[in-house]
Amino acid sequence: MADKPFAEQAAAFGSAMNSINTAQVVEAAVRDYKREVLDKQPQNNKGGHQLVAMDELMEDEELQALHEERIARLKAEREKRNQQAQKGHGTYTEISEGDFLEIVTNTDMVVCHFFHPEFERCKIMDKHLASIAHKYFNTRFIKVSAPDSPFFTVKLNIKTLPCLIAFKKGVAVGRVTGFEGLGKDDFPTAVLEDRLLALDIIELPEREREDEDRLDGPGKNVRKSLHYKKTESDEDSDFD
Q: Name the burial class of residue 76, with classes exposed (0-12), middle (13-18) and buried (19+) by CB atoms within 10 angstroms of its CB.
A: exposed
**What was the pLDDT predicted at 144?**
97
Can you give the residue ranges of every domain in the chain? Answer: 87-203
- For the cut 60, the answer to whether the pLDDT of residue 22 exceeds it is no
Q: How many CA atoms lie within 13 A of 104 on its CB side?
A: 21
Higher-pLDDT residue of 33, 109? 109
pLDDT, mean of residues 194-210: 81
What stretches of 62-189 adopt beta strand conformation (E)? Answer: 92-95, 109-115, 140-145, 160-161, 163-168, 171-177
Pairwise CA distance, residues 153 & 159, whole Å: 8
Pairwise CA distance, residues 119 & 144, whole Å: 14
Q: Which of 19-28, 75-84, 167-176, 212-221 has the highest mean pLDDT?
A: 167-176
- Cβ–Cβ under 8 Å, residues 138 and 89: yes
- Cβ–Cβ under 8 Å, residues 97 and 144: yes
**Residue 170 φ/ψ region, left for φ over 0, alpha for ψ in the -120 to 50 degree band, beta for the rest:** left
CATH number of 87-203: 3.40.30.10
- For the cut 80, the answer to whether the pLDDT of residue 93 exceeds it is yes
pLDDT, mean of residues 65-76: 71
Peptide bond into 162 cis (omega under 30): yes
**What was the pLDDT predicted at 69?**
75
3-state secondary structure of 43: coil
- For the cut 80, the answer to whether the pLDDT of residue 71 exceeds it is no
Pairwise CA distance, residues 48 & 146, whole Å: 73
Higher-pLDDT residue of 193, 238? 193
**What was the pLDDT predicted at 80?**
60
Pairwise CA distance, residues 73 & 70, whole Å: 5
Span 111-156, pLDDT tens digits: 999 999 999 999 999 999 999 999 998 999 999 999 999 999 999 9
State the CB neighbour count (10 A cutoff) for residue 112. Answer: 24
pLDDT, mean of residues 3-23: 52
**What was the pLDDT predicted at 70?**
75
pLDDT > 70: percent of the chain:
54
Distance of CA 165 to the CA centre of its chain: 20
**What was the pLDDT predicted at 231?**
37
pLDDT, mean of residues 182-188: 95
Higher-pLDDT residue of 42, 72? 72
CA distances for 205 relative to 20, 181, 195, 211, 225, angstroms: 20, 24, 16, 10, 18
**What was the pLDDT predicted at 204?**
84
